[in-house]
DNA sequence: CCTTTAAATATGCATATACATATTACAAGT
DNA sequence: ACTTGTAATATGTATATGCATATTTAAAGG
């Protein structure tokens, strides 16, 4: 008989699809952190880019994209927004042809204000999950981000 | 002394930020499923909407948005794309003012082709994670999607 | 030095996402 | 029936994301 769509399949997908479940989690978590940061005028994605730029010196766009499991072109545009806001500056990297985001004084000042807010949001999340379960989730999320494509 | 940004904080954020980690996972997993479905011309997000529409009859946009932990306005637009492709039809729901997505014959035919592809992608992911760990991840992801905002 | 080539980044196009606000559609009250 | 209020959906604006392709930049080879 032909492979017609079965209700059991549909239920299986709705309950178990890794992409659906992971994206649902990302939506929920992102909304929580974005709401917390809204008074500062940045989103959690931008916050993490600022943090990465400040933590790692001479990290090119391409290498940063690898670290963040993000497409280079996506990162290029996201960094451009931060540059337009004056929070980072794009400089030439030491490796040939590379560009490197460098946090500005304005970006640094914003980061100083943002970190306590991030800490609160993160604390609320770990309280919601339970510390041990969040730790386990962290490990599993890392594995999920490395799924072969 | 003033609360200057500390390298320890930056490291903490890069390694533990739930939003960063969850979004990284969503990016990686989404890329894998999108790549698998590309020959059919749909993305994993659209696939899950088709499945939901087929599984639940008379589910309004608003209720569907709740089920998927998605903003109503986001869902409205995503459904419009599917309607433009002829994969669903928007009909009046039984509840006042509601609209309900209904899968078309064309959408159903596509779904029949897409389900085996989904199954393969899902199998590759569970193989990568390990069955038991994926099961645990599933539970934790559900909790993450319900984090209070 | 000049040309070629390859690596790195940028751009065109498209979907996904969310908040704020506008519109629409219907129920309830008069 | 008419008006009004409210619930549901749609729209304006903005960021995030990725693939395919174009552009740029500098190393390598002549």
How many interface pairs between A and B have CB atoms less than 8 angstroms apart? 232
Comparing C-alpha atoms, which of A66, A14, A134, A143 is closest to residue B125?
A143
Tell me the percentage of chain B whose pLDDT exceeds 70.
97
Tell me the percentage of chain A whose pLDDT exceeds 70.
97
Residue nearest to nucleotide C27 (CA to C1'): B96
Tell me the percentage of chain B whose pLDDT exceeds 90.
95
Q: Is strand C less than 7 A from the beta carbon of B97?
A: yes
Calculate the angstrom distance between C1' of C15 and CA of A127: 34
Give dist(CA A5, CA A128) in Å, integer. 37
Task: Tell me which chain B residues have a C-beta less than 8 angstroms from the C-beta of A118.
Answer: 13, 17
Instruction: Name, in order, each residue with C-beta under 8 angstroms of A145's C-beta and a sequence gap of 6 or more.
Output: A69, B21, B24, B25, B27, B28, B29
Q: What is the pLDDT of residue A56?
A: 95
pLDDT digits (tens, 9 = 90+) for B123-149: 999 999 999 999 999 999 999 999 998
Give dist(CA B137, CA A138) in Å, integer. 10
pTM: 0.96
Residues 69-128, chain A, CB closer than 7 Å to nucleic strand C: 72-73, 76-77, 79-80, 90, 93, 95-99
């Amino acid at each position: 008989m032909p492979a017609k769509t079965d209700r059991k399949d549909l239920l299986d997908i709705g309950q178990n699809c890794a992409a659906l479940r992971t994206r649902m989690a990302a939506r929920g978590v992102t909304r929580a952190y974005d709401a917390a940061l809204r008074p500062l005028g940045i989103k959690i994605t931008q916050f993490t880019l600022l943090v990465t730029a400040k933590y790692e010196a001479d990290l090119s766009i391409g290498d940063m994209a690898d670290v963040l499991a993000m497409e280079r072109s996506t990162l290029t545009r996201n960094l451009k927004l931060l540059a337009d806001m004056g929070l980072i500056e794009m400089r030439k990297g030491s490796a040939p042809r590379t560009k490197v985001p460098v946090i500005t004084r304005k970006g640094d000042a914003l980061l100083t204000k943002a970190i306590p807010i991030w800490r609160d949001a993160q604390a609320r999340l770990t309280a919601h999950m339970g510390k041990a379960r969040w730790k386990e989730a962290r490990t599993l999320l890392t594995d999920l981000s490395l799924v072969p494509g």
